[in-house]
Amino acid sequence: MKQIILTGIRANNDLTIGNYLGALLPIVDMAKKRAAEYQVNLFVPDLHSFTTPIDHSTLNAQIMQNLRIFTAAGLPLDHPDVHIYRQSYIPAHSELAWIFDCFTGMGEMGRMTQYKDKSAKLSEDRISVGLFNYPVLMAADILLYGATYVPVGEDQTQHLEFTRDIALRMNSQFGELFTAPLPVPKQHEFFGKDQGLRIKDLQDPRKKMSKSDESGKGVIFMSDTPEAASKKIMSAATDSYGEIRFDTKERPGISNLLQILALLGGRNQSVVNAEWEGKSSYGDLKKAVAAIASSFLSDFQARLSQVDGEQIIAKLEASERLMNETANATLLRAQQAVGLRPKA
């Protein structure tokens, strides 16, 4: 049996160029590179997509669109060890999450920084219980399949640690039920340090470019027209040093532009930096970034329009059939352990 690499990508809004470069492309590259040796589970956490309020009328189309985007980015759909599935099509996710809920403390969920950050933006009665126990469902996503490797960005490390905690907690109470994913430092070792890469918001380069950002002015969406993207880049916030230098702490705006330039050009960051550092025209840098972003988006959108939707649906259905088998087997063991089903 191959060890499993598993990851999810949220589908509640249009994908950004930040998601593409920081998450999607590394996932696609990883799937291409690792599928010979590992099983790669790539799933849409659709049940996680409305833990904060969304427009439900577009959710389904959004999910399919995200999958088309992955395909256009080169996801190897025809590889037998790459699986693509929708979380809500595998009912065991919800059922195992409920069981875990009853072994999870209010305190440990309340300490999750993602919960604290997201709930701080909402009034008390708009904070959903789903947002609160989001990590519990995430633990189920991982433990149902016994995944060893889960690429974790900074914002997900606590959730991975919780996944290990609940696995070990259940195992110590009920015997060997779950295979815990490896701890965070081992994940970083396995996936390499590119994991931490985050494209920043163009208007506020101290925070990450986020698809759930309300205004969208600092965010380049994969569906933006090249013209719209150029405009956003030309009005990106910079600094008043008047000299280009790559320094993510002191000059986050300029550094972000240099990063976008390097990534979209598929070039080494230090090479790009050497080309620009010491120059004084922020306008020229913005023009270069706008040009490369425009041609990237028009190429990508052309590829996207060629994607075969039927092929995606066939792949989803085949993966979901298989994943239901694995997930149901794990769920049954958990149900037996807690007394919901007779022991075999």
**Amino acid letter, residue 57:** S
Told to check if 4 binds ligand TRP by CB under 6 A, we report no
Stretch that binds ligand TRP, among 3-11, 73-81, 201-209, 255-263 (CB under 6 A): 3-11
Binders of ligand TRP in range 74-133 (CB under 6 A) = none
Question: What are the backbone angles phi and psi of residue 140, rounded to the nearest 5°?
Answer: -65, -40
Question: Looking at 2-10, 122-130, 282-290, 292-300, which segment touches ligand TRP (CB under 6 A)?
Answer: 2-10
Does residue 63 interact with ligand TRP by CB under 6 A?
A: no
Q: Does 6 bind ligand TRP (CB under 6 A)?
A: yes
| Residue 67 C-alpha from the chain's centroid | 13
Among residues 155 and 243, whose Cβ is nearest to ligand TRP? 155
Among residues 5, 11, 30, 138, the one that binds ligand TRP under rule CB under 6 A: 138
What is the helix (H) or strand (E) element at residue 293, kind and residue range? Answer: helix 282-305
| Size of interface with ligand TRP, in residues (CB under 6 A) | 11
**Is residue 150 a contact point for ligand TRP (CB under 6 A)?**
yes
Is 200 marked active-site? Answer: no
| Active-site residue flag, 208 | yes
Residue 188, interface with ligand TRP (CB under 6 A)? no
- By CB under 6 A, is residue 7 in contact with ligand TRP? yes
Shortest spacing between CB 44 and ligand TRP, in angstroms: 9
* Sequence letter at residue 84: I
Contact call for residue 195 and ligand TRP (CB under 6 A): no
327 lies in the site for ligand TRP, by CB under 6 A: no
Nearest to 265 by CA among 287, 290, 241, 292: 292
Detail the DSSP E strand segments found in the chain.
4-8, 39-44, 82-86
- Point out the residue whose Cβ comes nearest to ligand TRP: 8
**Residues in a beta bridge with 151:** none
DSSP states of 40-103: EEEEE-GGGTTSS---GGGHHHHHHHHHHHHHHTT--TT-TTEEEEEGGGSTHHHHHHHHHHTT
**Would you give the distance in Å from CA 109 to the centre of its chain?**
20
Indicate which single residue of 4, 5, 8, 253 sits in contact with ligand TRP (rule: CB under 6 A). 8
* Helix H or strand E segment including 143: helix 134-143
DSSP code for 5: E
Residue 48 or 198: the one with the smaller Cβ distance to ligand TRP is: 48
Q: Which of 138, 135, 139, 140 is closest to 112 using CA atoms?
A: 135
What are residue 14's phi and psi, to 5 degrees? -60, 140
Active site residue 315: no
Minimum CB distance to ligand TRP smaller for 25 or for 237: 25
Q: Is 211 in the site for ligand TRP (CB under 6 A)?
A: no
DSSP 3-state of 270 = helix
Cα three-residue angle 145-151-155, rounded to 5 degrees: 115
Q: How many C-alpha atoms does 196 have within 13 Å on its Cβ side? A: 6
Which span (6-14, 195-203, 318-326, 327-335) binds ligand TRP, by CB under 6 A?
6-14
Interacting residues toward ligand TRP by CB under 6 A: 6-8, 10, 45, 48, 138, 141-142, 150, 156
Catalytically active residues, by annotation: 118, 208, 211
